[in-house]
Chain A
Amino acid sequence: MPLLTKARSFFRNLFFFDRRDSDLDQELRSHLEMLIEENIRAGMPPAQAQRAARIELGGSEQVKEHVREVRLGNWLHSVASDCRYGLRQLRKNPGFTAVAVVTLAVAIGANAVVFGVLNALILHPLNLSDAESLYGIQHGNEASSYQSYPDYLDLRDRNHTFNGLTAYNAGQAGLDTGENPSRVWLYEVSGNYFDVLGIHPYLGRVFHDSDEHGANSAPYIVLSYAYWHTHFQDDRGVAGRTVQLNKHPFTIVGVAPPEFHGILVFFNPDFFVPIVNQEQVDGENLLSTRGKRWVFMTMGHLKVGVTPAQAVADLNSIGSYLEKTHPRDDDQRSFTLARPGLYGDYLGKPMRAFMTGLMMLAALILLAACANLGSLFAARAADRSREVALRLALGASRARVLRQLFTEALLLSLVGGAVGLSGSVVLLRALSVWQPFSKWPVHVPVNPDANVYAVALLLTLSEWNPLSGRRQ
Chain B
Amino acid sequence: MKQEQTALLQGTLDMLILKSLLAGELHGLGVSRRIQQLSGGTFSVKPGSLFPALHRMEEEGWISAFWGDSENNRRAKYYRLTKAGRKQLEGETQKWARISSAIARALETS
Instruction: Give residues in A with beta carbon < 8 Å to B.
Output: 1-2, 5-6, 9, 23-24, 26-28, 30-31, 33-35, 37-38, 56-58, 62-63, 66-67, 69-72
Contact = CB atoms under 8 A, between A and B. Distances in A.
B59 A9 contact: yes
A5 B48 contact: no
A23 B51 CA distance: 12
Contacts of B76: 27, 30-31, 34
B70 to A, nearest CB: 6
Report the interface size class on chain B. 20 to 34
A6 B29 contact: no
Given A31-B28, A34-B70, A71 B61 contact: no
Given A1-B84, A34-B29, A28 B51 contact: yes
8 contacts: A2-B84, A5-B60, A24-B55, A26-B75, A30-B70, A35-B29, A58-B47, A66-B51
Contacts, number: 75
B46 interface: yes
Contacts of A66: 48-49, 51-52
A76 to B, nearest CB: 14
Nearest to B29: A34
A168 to B, nearest CB: 71
- What 3 A-B pairs come out closest when comparing CB atoms? A5-B61, A9-B59, A2-B61
B55 A71 contact: yes
B72 A27 contact: no
B100 to A, nearest CB: 27
Q: Which of B28, B29, B55, B61 has the most CB of A within 10 A?
A: B55
Interface in B29-69: 29, 46-49, 51-53, 55-56, 58-61
Contact of B52 (A27, A35, A38, A69): A69
A34 B59 CA distance: 25
A272 B48 CA distance: 80
Given A6-B61, A71-B55, 10 more contacts: A5-B61, A9-B59, A23-B77, A28-B51, A30-B76, A33-B74, A63-B47, A67-B55, A70-B56, A71-B59
Nearest to A37: B72
Interface of B: 27-29, 46-49, 51-53, 55-56, 58-61, 70, 72, 74-77, 84
Nearest to B64: A5
A27 B56 contact: no
B58 A34 contact: no
Contact of A30 (B51, B52, B75, B84): B75
Nearest to B83: A1
A242 B47 CA distance: 92
B55 to A, nearest CB: 5
Instruction: Name which of A23, A26, A31, A72 has the most chain B CB atoms within 10 A of its CB.
Output: A31
Contacts of B74: 30, 33-34, 37
Contact of A9 (B48, B58, B72, B84): B58
A207 B56 CA distance: 74
Contact of B47 (A5, A6, A28, A37): A28
A67 B52 CA distance: 4
A5 B52 CA distance: 17
A397 to B, nearest CB: 12
Contacts of B56: 70-71
A445 to B, nearest CB: 56
Contacts of B55: 24, 67, 70-71
A5 B60 CA distance: 7
Given A30-B76, A35-B29, A6 B60 contact: yes
A26 B77 CA distance: 9
Contacts of A9: 58-59
Contact of B46 (A37, A58, A72): A58
A33 B71 CA distance: 13
B110 to A, nearest CB: 43
A187 B60 CA distance: 73
